[in-house]
Structure 1
């Protein structure tokens, strides 16, 4: 229980950690660096899904549970996407321009964080505790640039830097609740563990292919983003091997 609580807090609050530079940054972030961060995060999450979550689910359960969990995760994310307005950032080589209302983007990002917290919780419910640590790390890596972009947006709406930092941190903090919910559901109903792990993998793969990769290829930075994606895969593989 201590592990899941610590892991969920660290992965969730990494959103705030990613927003820290906004307190000192004078200029906006170019799309090239944003694309690199998104692609790198995609590589981290892809490796965590394919080399940690799915193999663990296969070991505990079987192919039927894995397939069912994967499709359930994809369906839930599909429903969320249809119900939650998706905010696309306007592409500009000089920087990131925002033209949406502040509360809309805050609500959308907060709600999109809910399944990520669930992924962390169900990962800790597996017998192998290192699986939870790896997924918490992967989600945290993805949350950091997200927190930076949220804070950057809020500053563009004439919100103070400290307030922007605190709001960005709060958007990630909701993951703690769903992380604990996912842990309790799967830990005390043991047959749900392989479904939960596969659900987490499906949700993460949906986010990677539907959100992170397309967003990183919108400004002519495809080659650089591809290198960042592969770098993320290699680093996560090294971490899995180290664990």
Structure 2
């Protein structure tokens, strides 16, 4: 129980750690570097889902629970996307009022963080001890650049740096609640564990392919982003092998 709380808090607060950089920034960040960050985190999440969550779900429940869980994860993210219109954080221009666009961004990021928190909680309910720490670490690495980009967007909308930092940090706080929910659901109903792991994998794969990869290819940086994706993938594989 202590581990799931610690892992959920750590992954959630990584959003604030990324946003913290905005307090010391002068000027802006190029699209190239934003694309590199997005692609790197996509590689990290790809390795975590395909080498951590999916094998674990297969070993615990077999193919049918894996397929059902992945489909449910993708379906849930699809519903979220339809309910909350997607706005491209990285390639948007300034000049849109905060109360129209920024609130939508904050709502979208907060809702999209729910499946990530569930992923962490479900992973800690797994019988494999290191799975929870692995997924918490992967989600945390993904949350850091996300928090930075949200804070950067808010600053571009004429929000003060301190307020942008606080708001971006709070968008990740929902992961603590959803992490605990995912843990309790699967820890006390053992048969749900493979479904929960597969659900987390499906949600992560959706985010990778639908959000992170397309957004990292939006400014002509496809080759650089591809290299960054592979670097993130190898980095996470190395961590899996070491720990």
TM-score computed with the length of structure 1 as normaliser: 0.96
| Deviation of 1:102 (Å) | 1.6
- Alignment of structure 1 residues 98-117 onto 2, 5 Å: 98-100=94-96, 101-117=101-117
Query: 1:187 aligned to 2:183?
Result: no
| Deviation of 1:99 (Å) | 4.6
Query: Which residue does the alignment assign to 1:63?
Result: 63
Comparing 212-221 and 155-164, the one that deviates more: 155-164
**Secondary structure of residue in 1 paired with 2:7:** helix
C-alpha distance in structure 2 between counterparts of 1:208 and 1:55, whole Å: 18
C-alpha distance in structure 2 between counterparts of 1:209 and 1:159, whole Å: 31
Query: 1:120 aligned to 2:120?
Result: yes
- Post-superposition Cα deviations, 1:71-97, rounded to whole Å, max 9, x if no partner, equal 111111111111112111363xxxx63
C-alpha distance in structure 2 between counterparts of 1:238 and 1:60, whole Å: 24
- Post-superposition Cα deviations, 1:194-224, rounded to whole Å, max 9, x if no partner, equal 0000000000000000000000001110000
| Deviation of 1:104 (Å) | 1.3
Query: 1:199 aligned to 2:195?
Result: no
Query: Which residue does the alignment assign to 1:82?
Result: 82
Query: Which residue does the alignment assign to 1:72?
Result: 72
Query: Which residue does the alignment assign to 2:25?
Result: 25
Runs of 5+ in structure 2 lacking a partner? Answer: none
Query: 1:97 aligned to 2:93?
Result: yes
Q: Is the 8 A contact 2:31 2:219 kept in 1?
A: yes
Query: Which residue does the alignment assign to 1:38?
Result: 38
| Deviation of 1:149 (Å) | 1.0
| Deviation of 1:13 (Å) | 0.5
- Post-superposition Cα deviations, 1:25-84, rounded to whole Å, max 9, x if no partner, equal 001111100000000000000000000101011111111110111111111111111111
C-alpha distance in structure 1 between counterparts of 2:149 and 2:104, whole Å: 14
- Give runs of ≥4 in structure 1 deviating > 4 Å: none
Q: Is the 8 A contact 2:89 2:153 kept in 1?
A: no
| Deviation of 1:154 (Å) | 1.4
- Post-superposition Cα deviations, 1:171-203, rounded to whole Å, max 9, x if no partner, equal 011110000000000000000000000000000
Q: Is the 8 A contact 1:89 1:97 kept in 2?
A: no
C-alpha distance in structure 2 between counterparts of 1:239 and 1:154, whole Å: 33
Q: Is the 8 A contact 1:90 1:98 kept in 2?
A: no
TM-score computed with the length of structure 2 as normaliser: 0.96
Query: 1:171 aligned to 2:167?
Result: no
Q: How many residues align?
A: 239
Runs of 5+ in structure 1 lacking a partner? Answer: none
